[in-house]
Structure 1
Amino acid sequence: MSNEGQHIDEKDELISLADRLRYLIGHRSTRAAAKAWQLSYSTLNNYITRGTEPSLSVAAKIAELEGVSMEWLAWGYRENVPVQTDENPAVYHVNRPEPAQNEPLLMAWMMVFNSLDTAEQEALLRLIHKEGIKGILRESEQRHSLAQAISQLDETQRHDFYTQALALAAELKSEKKK
């Protein structure tokens, strides 16, 4: 497969993952590249023609075998790393946006995420995947409303509430063990 017909924007950048895969395939056939990358032909063909995306482990394997960064393979970002697919490979660059207003949020998110242990990170990712951000925010709002309601109870009512809640939690825990 040749690099002809690739979608290149006004800055000579490969636009899609499929285009970057075609670029890496170079003058090989799709079958030859699939074999070199330890993929089935149909899987690689789906990445190129149907827009399906490889798993992280598959993308990492392709990037490693082809001598490109995961970042370039995924998004087209290049850190002056030459691609070793031709004698004179074309160099494609995608300019990263300047650090935007969301960079402090990204850094805060990474600090929080990195402060979690592996089990907590996995649980958070499962929760985000299952519930989505809106579900998490809705649950957070409900917890905030509950905390606010509890704070408005007098000391006796608050004590009774916690006593009943702990008894209910213990009952649920014992039922779960059965």
Structure 2
Amino acid sequence: MRRFVILSLVLGGLVSTAPAQVPTPSADQMVQQLKAPVRTRSLRNLNVEATEAEAVRPSLSLLIQFDFNSARVSPQSQQALVTLSQALQSPELVRSRFAVEGHTDAKGRDDYNLQLSAQRAQAVVRVLKAHGVAEERLLPAGKGATELANREDPLAAENRRVRIVNLD
């Protein structure tokens, strides 16, 4: 079975997605993807509101494989999660909190997909915790098929993913 990784970099509301068959990024690449941008504010305007670019949070989407109809992370995805745990423990990210979002494709019932995606997000949190990431820094959430990566093909593999979002 091949390992697929999808990197999503969001800047100014635009989403750029790399090809589906890409080797797992390195921990350094993950750190760069997840680092919060440096925010500057104008002193001329004391009533500052968040701009659209500030509202977008750095994120990384990984196609993590699970056993069929299960929240058990497959052995093929263990190394990607080990690399992610190293990135999350880097000096640049060690003080940040992250949402761990489980996503499914649109096959199956919505309520079932939502429950399964939540279980899978929690399974990823358990693996990251086992590799030294403090659990209180990770907020698991199931999204089901509500935020498809590929809206053109709701059953596409890239919709079945785990997305890591920097909350800080």
TM-score of Structure 1 vs Structure 2, range by shorter chain: under 0.3
Higher Rg = 1
What's the TM-score once normalised by structure 2's chain length? Answer: 0.20
Structure with the larger RCO, 1 or 2 (CA within 8 Å, 6+ apart): 2
Q: Higher strand proportion, which one?
A: 2
In the superposition, the TM-score normalised over structure 1's length comes to 0.19
